[in-house]
């Protein structure tokens, strides 16, 4: 069974992305019911016992909660889907790890790497030889240009642009519509 783990309407968005990508969710796990969710409610994650045939998609925007869900399911030997919308342009020379969600119209260039359980939202690009670490959120309309490095657990706000070769440490939050001209070597909000 294909199962989306979510907590809000972002799960509905991912349900649609996944269906377009040929991954049809037949159930969802959420701490509370989600109105109009077009799949069977399986209750909260902590009450679910994964089956051998189950595959999961973690549609959770909150990074700490996404890490907790991944750790819980990994502890039960769960399998995870990569959801890559068919409108995305993904280089065959890129690396996309397990659990990644790439929303419509993303570009993943040659040599780019996206770490496990990261979310790349619509109209964003990961430029050539750039990387986004594990459990990171790359908001819509973002541009990680060539050779940029974004650490683990980062939250890059909507409309951000990172100039070539910028390095972002782990646990950094970049505010929406920012142009990042220099590296951020310590955790924090910028």
Length of the chain in terms of residues written: 190
Q: Quick: pLDDT tens for 66-109.
A: 999 999 999 999 999 999 999 999 999 999 999 999 999 999 99
- The band of 33, judged by pLDDT with boundaries at 50, 70 and 90, is confident
Q: Quick: pLDDT tens for 43-66.
A: 999 999 999 999 999 999 999 999
Q: Is 64 helix (H, G, I), strand (E, B) or coil?
A: helix
Question: What does the pLDDT read at residue 35?
Answer: 87
Q: Which residues of 153-184 are buried (b: 16+ CB within 10 A; e: fewer)?
A: bbbbbbbbbbeeebbbbebbbbeeebebeeeb
Nearest to 160 by CA among 129, 190, 128: 190
Task: Please give the domain boundaries of the chain with CATH numbers for all domains.
Answer: 2-80 (3.40.50), 82-190 (2.160.10.10)
pTM for the structure as a whole: 0.97
Burial-class residue 13 by CB neighbours within 10 Å (0-12, 13-18, 19+). middle
CA 78, CA 52: separation in Å to the nearest integer? 8
């Amino acid at each position: 069974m294909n199962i989306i783990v979510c907590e809000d309407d972002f799960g509905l968005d991912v349900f649609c992305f996944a269906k377009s990508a040929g991954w049809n969710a037949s159930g969802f796990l959420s701490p509370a019911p989600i109105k109009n969710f077009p799949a069977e409610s399986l209750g909260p994650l902590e009450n679910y016992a994964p089956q051998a045939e189950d595959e999961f998609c973690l549609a959770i925007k909150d990074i700490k909660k996404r890490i907790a869900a991944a750790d819980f399911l990994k502890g039960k030997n769960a399998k995870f889907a990569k959801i890559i919308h068919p409108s995305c342009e993904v280089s065959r020379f890129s690396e996309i790890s397990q659990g990644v969600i790439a929303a419509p119209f993303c570009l993943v260039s040659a040599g780019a790497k996206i770490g496990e359980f990261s979310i790349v939202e619509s109209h964003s690009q990961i430029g050539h030889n750039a990387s986004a670490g594990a459990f990171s959120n790359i908001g819509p309309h973002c541009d990680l240009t060539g050779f940029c490095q974004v650490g683990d657990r980062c939250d890059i706000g909507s409309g951000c642009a990172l100039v070539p070769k910028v390095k972002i440490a782990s646990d950094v939050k970049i505010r929406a519509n920012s142009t990042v001209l220099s590296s951020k070597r310590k955790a924090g909000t910028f």
